[in-house]
Amino acid sequence: MSMREPGLCVVDIEKGELRGATNRYTKTMADLAGLYEDEAAYQAVLAELGDKVVYEVTDYKPSADAGDMIIGVTRMIPGKVGREYFLTRGHIHANPNRPEMYYGESGHGIMLLESPAGEIRTVEIGPRSLCYVPPYWIHRSVNVGTTDLVMTFAYPADSGQDYDIIAKAGGMRSRIVDDGKGGWAAVDNDGYQFRPKDLVEAIMAR
C-alpha cells in the first residue's frame, strides 16, 4: 500500500456542488424515463424541462479501493411529475454490504429505502440531518421541498451502483407523493413485484 495525499474540497451550498471534485455527472428528465407512475405527466414535464439538469452529482474519488472513500455532493431541483415528487434513479450498491451517509446541506428531502425483501423506510432530511444508509438497503432520494435539495454524501469507494434491482421489481415498493396538504406521503406502487425468496437470500449472502 502506498501513501495517498490528503484531499480538500469545499461544499458550495448555493451552487449545490463540490469545489475540487474529480467527477461530475448530470441527469435530465429524459434519463429518468419509466420511473414515474404517470406517463402522460412525465411526457408533459419532459417537454417543459427539455435538457435542463434535474439532478447532478459532483464527487471526489481518490481511487476505487475498498479502503478508500468517495465523498461528494448531490443537488436536485424541486418539482413533481403528476403527484409524485422529483427523485433520483436509486440503486443498491453493487457490493451490497457497503453503507453510505448523507448530510443535508439545504432543502427538504426524503431518503426512501427498501430492503431486498421489500420493507420500506423513509428518512426525512433537512439541513444538518445526518442520514445513515446501512448495508443492503436500496436507496433513492426525493425532493419534497420547494427549493434545490443539496446533500453531501460519503461511501466506500468500491461500493458501485446496481440500478437493475429497482427496474426488475417494477420500481420501488413505495412512491413519495404530494399529500394534498403541502406535505408528502408514501403510497403503494401498484406495479411493484416482490423479489423471489432465493434472490433475496443470494443478495443477503454477499
Ligand X SMILES: O=P(O)(O)OC[C@H]1O[C@H](O)[C@H](O)[C@@H](O)[C@@H]1O
Which residues are documented as binding site for Fe cation?
Answer: 91, 93, 100, 139
Is the CB of 59 or the CB of 100 nearer to Fe ion?
Answer: 100
State phi, psi for 25 to the nearest 5 degrees.
Answer: -135, 150
- Contact indicator for 131, 121 with CB cutoff of 8 Å: no
Cα(31)–Cα(46) distance, integer angstroms = 10
- Contact indicator for 87, 176 with CB cutoff of 8 Å: yes
Least Cβ distance, residue 45 to Fe ion (angstroms) = 25
- Contact indicator for 21, 59 with CB cutoff of 8 Å: yes
175: left (phi over 0), alpha (psi -120 to 50) or beta: beta
- Per rule CB under 6 A, is residue 60 in the interface with ligand X? no
Is the CB of 56 or the CB of 184 nearer to ligand X?
Answer: 56
- Per rule CB under 6 A, is residue 88 in the interface with ligand X? yes
Which residues are annotated binding-site positions?
91, 93, 100, 139
- Per rule CB under 6 A, is residue 58 in the interface with ligand X? no
Cα(132)–Cα(123) distance, integer angstroms = 9
Instruction: Find which of ligand X, Fe ion, none residue 57 binds, CB within 5 to 8 Å per kind.
Output: ligand X
- Per rule CB under 5 A, is residue 100 in the interface with Fe ion? yes
Look up residue 31 and give its three cell numbers: 434519463
Instruction: Find which of Fe ion, ligand X, none residue 90 binds, CB within 5 to 8 Å per kind.
Output: ligand X
Give the binding site for ligand X (CB under 6 A): 57, 74, 88-91, 100, 153, 155, 161
